[in-house]
Amino acid sequence: MHNIVNNLILINKELSTINNNTKIIAVSKTFSMEHIKPIIDYGHIHFGENKVQEALEKWTKIKDKNNSLKLHLIGKLQTNKVKFCLPLFDFIHSLDSIKLAEKLANEQAKKNFKPKLFIQVNIGEEDQKNGISLKEFENFYKKTEDFELDIIGLMCIPPFVDDTKVFFEKMVQIRDKTNLKELSMGMSNDYLSAAKNSATYLRIGSKIFGARD
């Protein structure tokens, strides 16, 4: 059996021991469709990309043929790229400004296609990271109600530290102040901890596909 299929099976097995129904987004950025194909054939559904242009080139055809596939945009979305990202992306994890909320609302009406959205939270309050700060969150969340967006949850990329558990716990606290259900958090180095701490979508790249160059 192909190596990356094995990797995915092992992760699924680990997660089943935690006994939750967390979904794995296989983050396929930088890898060619040829490299990704075995786990599509295996039946994996959720895939993640961080660049709109790369995703368009890689996924347009195969999504047309296989409409059970779900594509997630996990990287920054520039407002001028919004028109290219619908209906390609079923999920967008990087809602981080009102300007973007407005653009998405206009574009989803035009295309008659409503992506599911996550608000990105800058959980470590890091200057270099995107996302809504903890101070602004409540106000931002309220403002998004002006648009008819399908916001389903919160997403974070925690600071690069050994133990990210405290950030996952903080995300749960913030989520619990909203009506939102989903939490997109946990990557190759901390997905087990994320799964134990209420993540509902894990974004796993290198642990499945191997190291990126």
In the bound state with ligand PLP, the residue whose beta carbon lies nearer, of 44 and 203, is: 203
Q: % helix / strand / coil in the chain, to the nearest 5?
A: 45, 20, 40
CA of residue 74 relative to chain centroid, distance: 4
Q: Give least dist CB 140 to ligand PLP, A.
A: 19
How many alpha carbons lie under 13 Å from residue 127 in its C-beta half-sphere? 0
Name every residue whose Cβ is closer than 8 Å to that of residue 37 and which is 6 or more positions away in sequence: none
- Give residues in contact with ligand PLP (CB under 6 A): 27, 29, 50, 74-75, 157, 187-188, 203-207
Q: Which residue has the CB atom at the shortest distance from ligand PLP?
A: 205
Candidates 198, 165, 196, 169; CA nearest to 183 is 198
- Please, which residue, 27 or 174, has the CB nearer to ligand PLP? 27
Count CA atoms within 13 Å of residue 105 on its CB side. Answer: 14
Min. distance of Cβ 68 from ligand PLP in angstroms?
22
Please state the closest distance from residue 25 (CB atom) to ligand PLP, in A.
8
By beta-carbon proximity to ligand PLP, the closer residue of 7 and 108 is 7
Shortest Å, Cβ 142 to ligand PLP: 25
